[in-house]
Amino acid sequence: MRRKAKIHVGEGFDQVAKRVASAWKRAAAGQAVHEHHVTFVSWEALAAVMTKRRYELLRHLRQHPAPSVAALARAVGRDYKRIHEDVEALAEIGLIERDHGLSAPFDTIEATLRL
């Protein structure tokens, strides 16, 4: 099954509330709801989390799940401390999963930026 994450930048509370209410109603009606949304208040907030290096990690983990942070650091040839920081940041927003090692579960990440 293909999985998609959606990143929203600059949305107000009303847009987030509508998205949550829609998912709630569908779930209450018995529909399966498998969505992953991440909302940032600004471009700067997104850029602080989604750096070039972190994007590279996601791409690597999508193809090559790793048993540990140390194994991932060795595989990509980067410092353990920096990889650990990157994994923590991406796991916090749900773009890396830690079930039985490290993996990037999404095939696609869509971003919507409000102007």
Contact 91, 5 (CB under 8 A): no
CATH of the domain at 80: 1.10.10.10
pLDDT tens per residue across span 78-95: 999 999 999 999 999 999
Contact 58, 96 (CB under 8 A): yes
pLDDT tens per residue across span 2-19: 799 999 999 988 998 999
How many structural domains are present in the chain? 1
Domain coverage including residue 12: 4-113
Q: How far apart are CA 6 and CA 74, in angstroms?
A: 30
Q: What's the whole-model pTM score?
A: 0.86
Strands (E), the chain: 4-9, 36-40, 108-113
Q: How far apart are CA 63 and CA 61, in angstroms?
A: 5
Q: How far apart are CA 112 and CA 68, in angstroms?
A: 32
State mean pLDDT over 67-71: 98
Contact 61, 104 (CB under 8 A): yes
Confidence of residue 33 (pLDDT cuts 50, 70, 90): confident
Contact 50, 68 (CB under 8 A): no
